[in-house]
Structure formats: C-alpha cells, structure tokens
Structure 1
C-alpha cells in the first residue's frame, strides 16, 4: 500500500482547556523512540516521538503519530523508516532529535543500502515499509509494516509528566509492606502479603506460621 498524508479536516474548537488536557495526557507513561528515515537527498534524518504503539501482529504493523508541521511528516510520506526504541543512556540523542540539536554530538548511525537508517545503542528497533496513513487532527497517523527488528536486554528511556525518566524497580521487587502511595501499609496488610507469599510457595493451612 502507498502512504499519502491526508489533508487536515475542518473542525470546530473543542472548548477544552488544552494546558490541562496536556497534563492529563502526561500522566500516561511511555517509552521514547526516534523515528529515522532518509530525506529526498538521501540524508539520514530523525525525530523523537513518544506516540508509538503496536497495531497488529499479522501483518506486523506499528503506528507513530507525527505532528503535521514537523519536517518528519513530509519525510515519512511513502518512505521506509525505523522506529528506534531508546535506551536509558540515549537521553542526549533524544534531545538532539527533539529540537535541541547538539553540534558536538556524534549520532551513532547504522546504514545499509537496502534498509532505512537506524541508531546504534537502542534497546530495540523495527524497520518498516510504509503501509497507510490516516488523519489524526493536528497529527498524521503513520502505519508501517515491520520487515526487520531486533532487541537488547538493556534499560529503556521513559517519558512521564513532560520529563525523561528511567524505570524503577519491578513491582514485586518492592517491599510489600509499602502501599502504592509510598506510605507504610498497616500491620495486617503486611501479614496478608506474607500469607500470600507463603501460599505461592505451597505452604498449607496446617503449617506453623509465625506472623
């Protein structure tokens, strides 16, 4: 299928508080990607995006949401591209492609004649052929069919409340006597967690428990 950027529709203002809406949306934590491609002159380009999702496994499709005014919107029109899922140590690269270019940064490009460019050091990457585009208001929704991919077991970069972050501990690595808001749980809750843990290990009701 071919990709053509749809024209923005005519719509009425929603009347919503856009600043508050942005804050609300910021409560949803995401990973961070850089979408890379070649421009009309064959130069390697990229744009930092956190609006990325898997769409389908058969066929394998992924989606990125691109601002209409961004250079990448025209650059991705009908173009193969790579979604680079960034690792936690790639903050400088994320900022570089998010409108804060660093002239001293050496971008770790990996180039092949038969594939769109990608970045070295990412936790995962997916090289895609253009599948279809859809109207997304002030964004264009770009779907790509995955043709190559790979992953490494390294910590990803995340984005929450308008800030880049690192992942914390897994939930079950945290003390079970701490509630979700960070306060110590009451004593009975700690005992309940201990009972749950013992049950998971197969301890029966007739066993002696010191709670």
Structure 2
C-alpha cells in the first residue's frame, strides 16, 4: 500500500499540476515587508486568501526560492496590496528581479511600518500571526491591523495571464458612509476629467482626503499648487452608494506635460455634460463653470431639501495673515 502511494505521487507531472492550479481565477497582489535595516522588500503573489474575521486573519504563500524570502521569514509585519486593473506594470516590476522595485510606485507607512502601495485596489497592513512550513512555500498568516479599499476594478489572473473582471462593484457594495474623493483640477481655462471606461467622463478621484503639492490618483500623480486647493462640494448620489467630497485645485506649471493615462483637459466653457454619467456630477460641473465665470465660489453641502451653498467673498488668504489682522 505504501509503495502504491509513493508511485502515485511520483506520477504527478508538476508542469501539468501548475497549469491545473492556474485555472482558478485569482486576484494579483504585491506583498511587502521591511528588512531589519528598514529596506523595503516586495514580490508579486496570487496565493492569497482571507482566513478569519474574529480575529481578522489572512494568509499568503511565499516561495522559499523567492529573493525576498528571508525578509518575509524574519520580519514581524507585512502588507498585502491587491492590484487594480491599471497596475499590470506594477505586477511585472514586483515579479522581476529589479534592484529597486519601489522606485516606480508610491508607498507609505500606516500602522506596522510595512510598505503600503498607496495606489492599489485594497491594502491590508498586518502583524505576523503565524508561519507554517508547507513544502516549497511558507504560509504566512497575518493579523490585519489596518486596511483600506477603493471602488476600482480588480486585476485578475488565470491560466498564466492577466484577466479582466467585469462589473466589479455592484450597487450597494460600499457602505453609504464611504466617500469618493474627487478633484476639479484646473489649468488656465481648462478642467481635467477622467474617462470612465464606458464612454463617459467623470472627475479624477484620489486616494487621500486632502492633497498638498502631490495629488495621488489611480494610475499616477499630479503636481498641484497647494495653496489653491479648497473644499468645493459634499453630496450623496444614492443611499446605497458612496458620497462625494469634491475639492477644487490648480495644476502646477508644467505638470500637464505628463498626465496619467485616461485623463484629458476640456475647456471649462465646453465641458462634455452629455457624457457625464450622473445628474449630481453634471449639476456640480454646471455650478462650477458658472461660479468660475463670476469669480465667486461657494461650498455646497447636501441636505434632504436640496442642499445649501455658502458663498465665499474675496480672494483666499493665508490663515496666519487673517489672525494677525
């Protein structure tokens, strides 16, 4: 009986087995950590799954032949960054043997200190809960300490190639208190808009609530004039969908020469209203164009009876100047 079991195990073709495993459609992640001296390390992986909600646990498998295996074997924390459909290039970089993979991405520290890729679909910042030896891999089990997500479409992988996932965000998937951060980015007499992939145009969306000199967008970043960024509008689209925080901003000089893919400037007086997918966004853009002509902007707050607008008089001033006056 033992001899038959050994013979059956030896008859399995590892190449064919790998192909069979590859028929399971997965997402694509970049797992990251730091060496003892603080050097960031990372690799592409798709062997990821959730484990438990209480306590909040997940796992990812790290190959023992990976160049960053020793770092993941010793570090007390790590992060799992799920990639969106626009990050095929990021997946390729972290799957390569490039000397400085992090040079091509923006990353930050959140809770444990593990590198978080700020322009990702979803990220999980984890402390190591357990490590389990499993053949030519180690199962790395992490306890989630912090996480963040976005409404972007995920990057899929199947049969050794990237796959597209259709309709990734059904209505009501996000909590109604979630907020999408949009930006009215102006350059001279033009406004920046983003193609929504369905033939329409929407505002660029950001990962963070407030931008300074750099605005981190899906697929890239923009340089802004920080003193010209102000809150402009706060509103909901529907009870089941996330709300919107809209800021107005001005592009830094020369930044228009390197726009991320999918972004395009339109004349403020000739915006593509017919191609804006929601009534709320169209109304907000109409108000913005009108107030810009009048050089008198307001801040809109959504309410059940149609909303409120508080108008601002005069040019912006530094807070220190106001308090001194």
Considering only aligned residues, what root-mean-square deviation do their CA atoms show, in Å?
2.4
Match of 1:191 in 2: none
Q: How many residues align?
A: 161
**Shift, 1:140, TM fit:** 0.6
> What secondary structure, in the 3-state scheme, does the structure 2 residue paired with 1:75 have?
helix
Give SS of 1:76's match.
Answer: helix
Counterpart CA distance in 2 for 1:44 and 1:126 is 16
Higher RCO structure, 1 or 2 (CA under 8 Å, sep 6+): 1
1:153 aligns with 2:151: yes
| Counterpart position of 2:121 | 123
Q: Structure 1-normalised TM-score? A: 0.69
Instruction: Write the distance in 1 (CA, Å) between the matches of 2:110 and 2:155.
Output: 26
1:88 to 85, 89, 92: 85
Residue 134 of structure 1 deviates from its aligned partner by 0.8
Q: Does 1:99 align with 2:96?
A: yes
Alpha-carbon offset, residue 41 of structure 1: 2.0
Q: State the alpha-carbon separation in 2 of the partners of residues 65 and 113 from structure 1.
A: 22
**1:95, 1:101 within 8 Å by CA — same for their partners in 2?**
no
CA displacement 1:166-208 (0-9 Å, x = unmatched): 21357x9xxxxxxxxxxxxxxxxxxxxxxxxxxxxxxxxxxxx
Give structure 1 stretches of 5+ with no counterpart. Answer: 1-10, 173-211
Decide which structure has greater helix share.
Answer: 2
1:37–1:137 Cα change, 3 Å: same
Residue 42 of structure 1: aligned partner = 38
- Give unmatched runs, 5+ long, in structure 2: 1-5, 171-325
Change (3 A) 1:102 1:38: closer
Structure-2 separation of matches of 1:103 and 1:127: 21
Between the aligned partners of 2:150 and 2:138, the Cα distance in structure 1 is: 30
Contact 1:33 1:49 in 2 (8 A): yes
Shift of 1:103: 7.3
* 1:55–1:37 Cα change, 3 Å: same
Distance 1:113 1:134, change over 3 A: closer
Deviation for aligned residue 1:114:
4.9
Larger radius of gyration: 2
CA 1:151/1:20 → structure 2, altered by over 3 Å: closer, same or farther? same
Question: Hey, what does 1:167 align to over in structure 2?
Answer: 165
Q: How far 1:17 sits from its partner (Å)?
A: 1.1
